[in-house]
Structure 1
C-alpha cells in the first residue's frame, strides 16, 4: 500500500473555489447547496476549506452568486408566495418533504421558525390565499357560507387554534399518540386536529380535538372523522 498526502488547497484561487461550488449546484439542479451537499456530491475541495477562505459557507454562497442555505427574517408574504408556487408546480397540497430545492426557494426551517410547525404554516397560507380584497377576518369571527347558500352562515364561539393549556389537556388525554395509527408523536409531528372540522362549524374544545401525526393529519384533511365513531 502506498501512502500519500492529499492535495494542499490553501493556495487555490478564490475563483476556482467559487466555480466548483457553482458546478456542484448545477449538477444538483439547485441555486443553493449546503456544505454537506457539496461534500457528498463531488466537491473538488472540502466545504471546510471553502468556508475558511470566505469566513463562512454562506459568505461563499454569496460570492458565488447563489442563495443562502438558511435565509433569515423572510416575510410571511414571501413564504406564502413561495408556497403558492410549490403548490402549483407539484399540482397538489405540498407535504413537509416537498419543501426543498428545486421546487421550493425556502427550506422547511423558515416555515417552522415563522409559524411554529408545518400544519400551522399551511393553515395560515390557506387563510391568506382566500382573503377577499386583502381584508382578514378576526379569528373569533370567521364564518363559512355553505355552497349555494343552502344553509345559514355560522360564527364560531371559540378561536380556531387551541391555547397552550388546551393543547396540554389533549396531549394528556391522548397520551402523545396519534389517534389513527397509535405512534408516539413529538415536536413538529404533533398536530391538534378538529374531529368535526373547523370549516364545518367544529369548535376548538377538548371533546372536538385529537392528536394526529403529520401523515394522518394531512390525509384526514377536511373529513369529519372520529376514530371511535368512524366517518360521519
Structure 2
C-alpha cells in the first residue's frame, strides 16, 4: 500500500473511532480489542457436542460474562452492530467443525413478532445469520419463518410453560411457500431449553421441510456435562 494511502487510512480511522459499546473504550471496530479477547474466551471447547441430540444443537459460546453482556447490549441498548462479530465467531466455528463438511442447507433465523421487531428496530437472529452466512457461504432465507403470536418473555418460565407459550407461534414464511428439498439450519442468539427451536422445527416439519439442527451464538447448558438438559 502506498505511503499516502496508509496515512489517509490512519487519519480516516481516527475520525471513524467511536466508543466500544461494552466498555466505552475508543475503538474503530464494533467491539474493542480488549472486549474481543474476552468474548473469544467464551468459546466452548466443542461447539458441536450436542449435535447428536434429537434436535441437533451447535452453540459457539457459554452464556455468561462478556458474551452475555454483548448479547444484552445488542438487544436492549440498540447496538445491532455487535451481531456482525458474533455471527463471524459462529460461522468460523461451524466451518472448523466436522458437522459442516459436505453439508448443504439453507439458513433461517428464528423470527421476532413484527410488533416486537418494530419496537426493537431489528431482529438480532437475522443479523447474526447474515454475518454467519457471509462467513460460511451458506444461503440465507430471512423470511423462511414468520412469528404469528407475540409470546410473553420466556425468562423465568418452566419447560412446559415455555412449550405452551410457543405453541403455534410460527408459520411458514414467504420464502418457503413452495416445495423445498434442501434441509434448513435454524439460527438464534441464545439456546436455552430448546422450546423455541422445537416449535419452529415442528412448523417446518408440518410443511415437509427437514430441519438439520440449530446453531446459536450462546447456550446456557453446562459444557462440562453434555447430557445436561438446559433449564
TM-score between the two structures when normalised by the length of structure 2: 0.28
Q: Rg larger in 1 or in 2? A: 1
Higher relative contact order (CA 8 A, sep 6+): 2
TM-score between the two structures when normalised by the length of structure 1: 0.28
Q: Which has the higher strand share?
A: 2
Q: Which has the higher helix share?
A: 1
